[in-house]
Amino acid sequence: MQFRARRIGILTGGGDCPGLNAVIRAVTRAARDGYGATVFGIEDGFEGLVEGRMHELSSQAVSGIVGLGGTILGTSSKGDPAHYPVEVSPGKIEIRDLSYKALRNIEQWSIDVLVAIGGDGTMHNALRLSDAGVGVVGVPKTIDNDVPATEVTFGFDSATSVVCAAIDRLETTASSHHRVMVVEVMGRYAGWIALVGGMSSGADLILIPEIAFQWEHVYRKVHERQNQGKRFTIVCVAEGARLPEGDVVVRATDMRRTDSKRLGGVGERVAQCIEQATGYDTRVTVLGHLQRGGSPTVADRVLATRFGVAAAECACKGETGVMVALRDGSVRTVSLADATGPQRTVPPDDELVRAARATGISFGDA
**Taking a C-beta distance cutoff of 8 angstroms, is the pair 331, 325 a contact?**
yes
Handedness of CA 175, 180, 186, 189 (dihedral sign): positive
Question: In angstroms, rounded to a whole number, what is the distance separating the alpha carbons of residues 159 and 142?
Answer: 9
* Catalytically annotated residue among 144, 146, 204, 300: 144
**DSSP per-residue codes, 272-328:** HHHHHHH---EEEEE-GGGGT-SPPPHHHHHHHHHHHHHHHHHHHHT--SEEEEEET
CB atoms within 10 A of CB 139: 32
Burial of 87 (C-beta count, 10 Å sphere; 0-12/13-18/19+): exposed
Question: In angstroms, rounded to a whole number, what is the distance separating the alpha carbons of residues 193 and 238?
Answer: 7
**Taking a C-beta distance cutoff of 8 angstroms, is the pair 256, 80 a contact?**
no
Question: In angstroms, rounded to a whole number, what is the distance separating the alpha carbons of residues 34 and 99?
Answer: 32
- Residue 46, SS3 per DSSP: helix
Nearest CA to 355 out of 195, 162, 157 is that of: 195
Per the annotation, the verdict on 16 as an active-site residue is: no
Question: In angstroms, rounded to a whole number, what is the distance separating the alpha carbons of residues 310 and 316?
Answer: 10
**Taking a C-beta distance cutoff of 8 angstroms, is the pair 263, 15 a contact?**
no
Q: What residues are annotated to the active site?
A: 144
